[in-house]
Amino acid sequence: MSPVQAKVLPLFPGLSQPYDPKESEGAPRDLMVKATTGTGKTLAFLVPAIEARLAAIEQHAKRAVENVGLVSDQRLTMTAARQFTIDEVGTLVIHPTRELATQIANEAQKLTMYHCSTFVRGG
């Protein structure tokens, strides 16, 4: 683990929790990390971002089922999760060059390869 990752990853699970304005105290919501190339910055911010997105999708789907008065409904859960991923932006990563944005998108795609509820676009 790189020094950058060693500083960022212990901030879990706070970084990966869906934002709740009622609970604004606690873990930081935004990070600014400056380090040289090859120090693990990309994974250090992608992992919490992806975890936060997956948690938000799960939370929304669970709430949708509860709102109709059910304990569980797999079909409704899947439908609500899919609609949430279409309607809501999860994470927007902005970088100064197209090349860097493409590299980061490629890393994000590798990390989300087995998560059907994520969509990564870069370049």
| 12 in any annotated domain | yes
| 102 in any annotated domain | yes
Q: How many domains does the chain have?
A: 1
| 120 in any annotated domain | no
| 91 in any annotated domain | yes
- Per-residue pLDDT for the chain (123 aa), expressed as one digit of tens each? 888 888 877 876 676 666 667 766 665 567 777 778 888 888 888 888 888 888 889 999 999 999 988 888 999 999 999 999 889 888 888 888 999 888 888 998 898 888 766 666 665
| 123 in any annotated domain | no
Taking the C-alpha atoms of residue 58 and residue 115, their distance in angstroms, rounded to an integer, is: 12
In the chain, what's the furthest Cα-to-Cα distance? 51
| Residue 91 domain boundaries | 3-18+29-113
| 94 in any annotated domain | yes
- pTM of the model as a whole: 0.71
